[in-house]
């Protein structure tokens, strides 16, 4: 059986699945049950200075569901922990003592002042926790108080606070980044410059999930008013994956350890994050939706996958897809595909025809010889794969690459053997000598 043990910036855990800083890690009671269920580590719900913050007493979640009512996206207006700092510290110390083989990282958010950081770090160190995570991410509530994403959006502040932390503690520092920024590489580079041991991302995305069209207030609604909150869950995974990849392939941050967060629900999601450069993953919404025991499926799934692939350790997955992430201009313009419909699987719903007819390239029939039939016309198909994505039947439509030398009936030209990209294309006014894809 594959070895799932993880060593992330020197923090060891029996598997790479950690719970993210959030309600699942708010107190010893939760964390102990999470460890009993098999989680490799936790990032404790963000601690702040006393007196603790106060949460709303009404609904704090908004949601987006799929047609089967599966939770796709969750939005929250919760703040950092509303429990006493010293109660949390006592619990952390005890849990770490009782569970020495699990990772406990403490998330922190205090005012952006040197004294505040200098004061809290020894208190955390005393618990013998494995590391700290700097919460520069919360987009609501705390940001209006000059913390959370208000810090994470200013690379100079990020660098400054990381420096303080590296100066005042010997614990590994993980800097948690906000996605509410145009270019995530900038705060990542700043954290790196400040000496962070790792970055983690993403925190939640600023959002309003819905407006109640009877009361005309955003949801969740507190006494007739709503506010923007942080969005997470499966819906944010694509944004998170891209941001992880951006940092993993950036020349200035390449090699900086990354903890991947955002919509991880299955072992596959975890593998995707790791392939794009994450050394481990953190999970929040999936645990809140399905409970702590989902980690068992993650462990079994990852283990089976690694056995199948012959990977001896999780490190063999980390970063494997990074060389295959490139910029658009380096994509091979000589790669030609055509859609193909498997008539045995087709249920004749007509969705592919409508999509292609109305919004793509009028390349799918709806009738052949007077009979309802859906077939791709190769002389019109541009290979965009919209039909694949709207077809309700798995694998009914596939994209088939044309081999080099084959005739592309749409262009009337043969598929060239060689790779060619936009940088050398004759239509590109700035065309220059070909550069290899990175
Ligand atoms: C209710 C709730 C509270 C959260 N509180 C915190 C927090 O205190 N500190 C923090 O760093 N992130 C917090 N988060 C963000 C999560 O740690 C995580 O970054 C985010 O939810 C994305 O992961 P997911 O898609 O697996 O939920 C919170 C998320 C939720 C849903
Ligand atoms: S791949 Fe695009 S162009 Fe081709 S049939 Fe499908 S939708 Fe139409
Ligand atoms: S969408 Fe799929 S199932 Fe429906 S007609 Fe097209 S190929 Fe057939």
Token pair, residue 72, equals 């796709």
Structure tokens of 264?
Answer: 């991880």
How much distance in Å is there from the Cα of 359 to the middle of ligand 1? Answer: 38
| 139 φ/ψ angles, rounded to the nearest 5 degrees | -90, 0
pLDDT in single tens digits along all 438 residues of the chain: 799 999 999 999 999 999 999 999 999 999 999 999 999 999 999 999 999 898 899 899 999 999 999 999 999 999 999 999 999 999 999 999 999 999 999 999 999 999 999 999 999 999 999 999 999 977 777 777 777 778 889 999 999 999 999 999 999 999 999 999 999 999 999 999 999 999 999 999 999 999 999 999 999 999 999 999 999 999 999 999 999 999 999 999 999 999 999 999 999 999 999 999 999 999 999 999 999 999 999 999 999 999 999 999 999 999 999 999 999 999 999 999 999 999 999 999 999 999 999 999 999 999 999 999 999 999 999 999 999 999 999 999 999 999 999 999 999 999 999 999 999 999 999 986 555 555
CA-CA distance, 174 to 172, in Å (whole number)? 7
Q: What is the DSSP letter of 77?
A: -
Q: Per-domain residue ranges for the chain?
A: 6-324, 328-424
Q: Which H or E run contains 61? A: strand 61-65
Q: Which of 54, 49, 74 minimizes the C-alpha distance to 64?
A: 74
Q: How far apart are the C-alpha atoms of 84 and 93, rounded to whole Å? A: 15
Fold entry, domain 328-424: Alpha-Beta Plaits (3.30.70)
Q: What lines the ligand 1 site, CB under 6 Å? A: 20-23, 45-46, 74, 76, 78, 80, 107, 135, 137, 176, 203-204, 232-233, 236, 261-264, 283-286
Ligand 2 is surrounded, with C-beta below 6 A, by 339, 355-356, 360-361, 363-364, 376, 381-387
Q: Which residue's alpha carbon is at the smallest distance from atom 2 of ligand 3?
A: 391
The first and second tokens of residue 412, run together, are: 């009337």
Rounded Cα–Cα distance for residues 387 and 361 (Å)? 11
Q: Is 112 a catalytic residue?
A: no
| 355 close to ligand 3 (CB < 6 Angstrom) | no
Annotated catalytic residue: which of 138, 165, 284, 391?
138
Asked whether the beta carbons of 435 and 425 are under 8 A apart, the reply is no
CATH code 3.30.565.10 for 6-324 = no
pTM of this structure: 0.95
Contacts of 69 (CB under 8 A, 6+ apart): none
Give the residue among 66, 386, 357 at the shortest CA–CA distance from 235.
66
- Helices (H) then strands (E): counts for the chain: 12, 22
């Amino acid at each position: 059986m594959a070895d799932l043990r993880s060593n992330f910036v020197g923090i060891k855990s029996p598997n790479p699945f950690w719970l993210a800083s959030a309600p699942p890690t708010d107190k010893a009671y939760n964390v102990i049950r999470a460890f009993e269920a098999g989680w490799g580590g936790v990032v404790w719900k963000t601690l702040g200075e006393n007196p603790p913050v106060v949460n709303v007493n009404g609904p704090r979640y908004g949601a987006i569901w799929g047609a089967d009512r599966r939770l796709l996206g969750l939005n929250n207006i919760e703040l950092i922990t509303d429990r006493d700092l010293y109660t949390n510290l006592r619990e952390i110390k005890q849990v770490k003592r009782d569970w020495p083989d699990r990772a406990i990282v403490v998330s922190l958010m205090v005012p952006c002042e040197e004294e505040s950081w200098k004061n809290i770090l020894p208190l955390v160190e005393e618990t013998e926790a494995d590391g700290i995570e700097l919460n520069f991410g919360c987009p609501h509530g705390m940001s209006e108080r000059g913390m959370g994403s208000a810090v994470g959006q200013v690379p100079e502040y990020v660098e400054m606070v990381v420096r303080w932390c590296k100066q005042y503690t010997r614990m590994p520092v993980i800097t948690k980044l906000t996605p509410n920024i145009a270019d995530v590489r900038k705060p990542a580079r700043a954290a790196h410059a400040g000496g962070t041991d790792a970055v983690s991302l993403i925190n939640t995305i600023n959002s309003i999930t819905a407006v109640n069209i009877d009361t005309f207030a955003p949801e969740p609604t507190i006494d007739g008013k709503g506010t923007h909150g942080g969005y997470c869950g499966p819906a944010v995974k694509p944004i998170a994956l891209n941001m992880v990849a951006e940092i993993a392939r950036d020349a200035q941050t390449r090699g900086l350890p990354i903890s991947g967060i955002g919509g991880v629900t299955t072992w596959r999601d975890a593998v995707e994050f790791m392939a794009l450069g994450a050394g481990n993953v953190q999970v929040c919404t999936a645990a809140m939706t399905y409970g702590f025991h989902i980690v068992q499926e993650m462990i079994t799934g990852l283990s089976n996958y690694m056995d199948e692939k012959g990977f001896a350790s999780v490190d063999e997955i980390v970063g494997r897809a990074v060389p295959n992430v490139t910029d658009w201009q380096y994509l091979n313009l000589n790669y030609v595909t055509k859609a193909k419909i498997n008539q045995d699987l087709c249920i004749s719903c007509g969705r592919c025809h409508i999509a292609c007819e109305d919004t793509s390239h009028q390349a799918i029939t709806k009738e052949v010889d007077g009979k309802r039939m859906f077939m791709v016309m190769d002389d019109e198909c541009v290979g965009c794969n919209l039909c694949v994505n709207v077809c309700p039947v798995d694998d009914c439509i596939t994209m088939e690459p044309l081999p080099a030398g084959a005739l592309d009936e749409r262009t009337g030209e043969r598929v060239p053997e060689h790779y060619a990209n936009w940088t050398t294309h004759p239509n590109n006014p700035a065309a220059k000598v070909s550069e290899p894809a990175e």
